[in-house]
Amino acid sequence: MKVHEFERLVTKLQLKVRDSRDRIAWFEYDGRVITRTKRSHGKGFDLPAHLIRKQLKVSGKEMAGLIQCSLTFDDYVNILRAKKLL
């Protein structure tokens, strides 16, 4: 996963971010913190997509959908709801 793809997730899922040593992103819904992920600030290498998607609780297909715009914020909420995380 490239940095700009991670940033697309941040925007689409309205993740709250905090830049410290890493860029830490939290997904909040109804005032509760549901999932979290992070990416390092280092450049020149791909981010571990399979580990990021596990943190965001989505499958590989769903992750691809979130990056490629076929899945929306509401779809993500429904995915989490189906997994009883909300």
CB of 20: closest distance to other proteins in angstroms? 7
Q: Which is nearer to other proteins, 6 or 38 (CB)?
A: 38
Q: Closest CB to other proteins among 48 and 70? A: 48
Residue whose CB is less far from other proteins, 34 or 64: 34
- Number of neighbouring beta carbons within 10 Å of residue 41: 10
Question: Least distance in Å: CB of 76 to other proteins?
Answer: 14
